[in-house]
Amino acid sequence: MYWLTIATSFAILSLLIIADDPCRYQTDKGVIDISSLARTDDKAKYPDKLPASGGGYKYSYNPCKPFTELPSCQGVAACQVSTDGKYSFSIGKQETAKWNPGGIGGSPTVTYTDGPKTLVVTLVCSRNGTDELEALGESSTNNYRMRLTNKCACWDGCGGGPRTTTKSSGGKGGKGGITGGAVFIILLVVLFVVYFIGFAAYYRFRLERTGVELIAHRTFWVGLPSYAKDGAVHIYRRVLNKGDTPYQSV
């Protein structure tokens, strides 16, 4: 149970840290904002694209927002559909979006996953009005590729510049993602949860303790307020040059 608790906690934490904003990506190169390309009616902006290599499947993609395509793709970023329309498979979810700015001279990409399946969409900058999605099919088992050509694939092509934080109906700021401070707080909370639950499980099932004896290092936590008070008084007297008070380190 102890190790299960640790594994579960860190799995949740990794999901919170890894996920990027599926609509917007900002680096020192500028901003890529594909939110204006999204359909918001639960349909794909780029439906039923056939790869040149064939393969018996067509592909649909909607930037930024999830969509549904029957019979089986629900709330997805991209869908693989048999050419006869009898089968469909999710090949990526919006909430798994992960951006890559590309190397020197390389194009940025956004990667989506769903279980073992991975989709990489390469963004090709075009300022001449081109709006095209190329489905490149399955490059290897469970690995899919697409190429999106649009002005919004350019740095600062659409919605360029830092996004100001404004209130919305959902109560969230304008910029997506998760800040470093939030990650630190989440990590701290997870570590405390693992610490207390892990020791409680150990004390209960290995040492057969009950009640308050399940609290890890109970003596320390009970005395912590007193330690904190003594420390504050000690610092206060030192700052005001009122001499030292008896002080015992924790």
Residue 88, C-beta contacts closer than 8 angstroms, at least 6 positions apart: 69, 70, 71, 72, 73, 79, 80, 81, 82
**Percent share of the chain, pLDDT over 70:** 80
pLDDT tens, residue by residue, 143-180: 999 999 999 999 999 975 444 443 333 443 334 455 56
- Is the CB of residue 161 less than 8 Å from the CB of residue 135? no
In whole angstroms, give the CA distance from residue 28 to residue 67: 31
Sketch out the chain's domains with CATH numbers. 20-153 (2.70.130.10)
State the amino acid at position 10 in one-letter form.
Answer: F
pLDDT tens, residue by residue, 57-68: 999 999 999 999
pTM: 0.60
